[in-house]
Amino acid sequence: MFTKVDIPILNKKLSIVVNGKLIDFSQTKVMAILNITPDSFYDGGLYQSHDLIMNRVDDIIEQGADIIDIGAVSSRPGANHVSVSEERNRLLPVVELIRKRYPDITISIDTYRSDIVKDIVEHYGQILINDISAGNLDNRLFETVSRYNLPYILMHMQGNPQTMQLKPSYTDVTNEILKFFIGKIKRLRDLGIYDIIIDPGFGFGKSIEDNYAILARLDEFKILELPVLVGISRKSMIYRLLNITPEKALNATALLHGLAIERGANILRVHDVSEAVQNIKLMNKFNEVEIK
């Protein structure tokens, strides 16, 4: 187990600033997934026109999302390669539409490419960067995030999207992820990046057993004193264990979201916004009650 003595580089910071807006994570926030890909594992191909995309955005906003996370490249195992130009062509028009209709909503971009980050920031201003690779798939990404003073989601992944689920292996998965985060956080802070969110990377180079071990020990990530993002919505750790499809995994997802909140999740990254908002409200109420 780690103690604060082991990690002197860290200091408590449960808020970030995005485009001049302070977001406080002392209570759990909802990050809504907006996949504009043809091949994502659950909703790939559903939002392939701008009208359909904006209908989805309208629903997301109405249901109470705090952040919209836009992904133009699927990271599921075996996903097709997407060029930088194709990712750019998918993303930029959508970001423009959302900025025009909802100028105050916080936008996150699910990308690991520095060129994409540069293009979006220079066209549409500061955004939150959600990087599945922790800078390992583009050695210019950290410097780009630093140059534009962007908030950053640091995720753990063993391997890459093509290899991550072949034979993931850990001695102590939670401890190894904590060590990984400590090294990466130090590097980010050396570059002047302080608005950091951590994501253990459920399903990214982890077995089903690894995923549940991380969830059971999620509160240990509090030692990093940074907001913790949990992305388990309808994932294979749920539907494969239950021998169901992702489409039938909503109830089980809600149950695990409750457990994640109880163990300190500051952000839920979800497909189903209204259900997650309800879950958070119920958990907040439950935690207000004093047992007499």
List pLDDT tens digits, range 196-254: 999 999 999 999 999 999 999 999 999 999 999 999 999 999 999 999 999 999 999 99
pTM: 0.90
Q: Tell me if residue 113 is catalytic.
A: no
pLDDT digits (tens, 9 = 90+) for 182-201: 999 999 999 999 999 999 99
Give pLDDT, residue 161.
62
pLDDT of 113 higher than 50: yes
Lowest mean pLDDT among 46-50, 126-130, 178-182, 256-260: 46-50
Distance (Å, whole) CA 117 – CA 104: 19
What residue segments make up the domains of the chain, in order of their start? 16-286
Mean of pLDDT over the chain = 89
CA dist., res. 259 & res. 20, Å (int) = 32
Sign of CA dihedral 124, 96, 154, 16: positive
Confidence of residue 8 (pLDDT cuts 50, 70, 90): very low
Is residue 167 very low, low, confident or very high in pLDDT (cuts 50, 70, 90)?
confident
Q: At what angle do helices 273-288 and 250-262 cross, to 10 degrees?
A: 40
Residues 6 or more apart whose Cβ sits within 8 Å of residue 109: 69, 70, 71, 91, 95, 116, 117, 120, 127, 128, 129, 130
Has 184 been annotated as catalytic? no
Nearest to 67 by CA among 124, 112, 19, 114: 19
pLDDT, one tens digit per residue, over 23-66 is 999 999 999 999 887 755 445 455 568 888 999 999 999 999 99
Q: Catalytic: which of 12, 235, 240, 292?
A: 235
Here the tokens at position 259 are 């457990």
The predicted structure's pLDDT at residue 77 = 62
pLDDT reported for residue 164: 58
Calpha distance 190→109 (Å, rounded) = 23
Q: What is the mean pLDDT of residues 136-163?
A: 90
Number of DSSP helices (H) and strands (E) in the chain, helices first: 9, 10
Query: What pLDDT score was predicted for residue 119?
Result: 96
Task: Quote the tokens at residue 246.
Answer: 């992702």
Could you say which of 167, 269, 281, 292 is catalytic? Answer: 269
Model pLDDT for residues 259-289, shown as the tens digit of each residue = 999 999 999 999 999 999 999 999 999 988 8
CATH architecture of 16-286: Alpha-Beta Barrel (3.20)
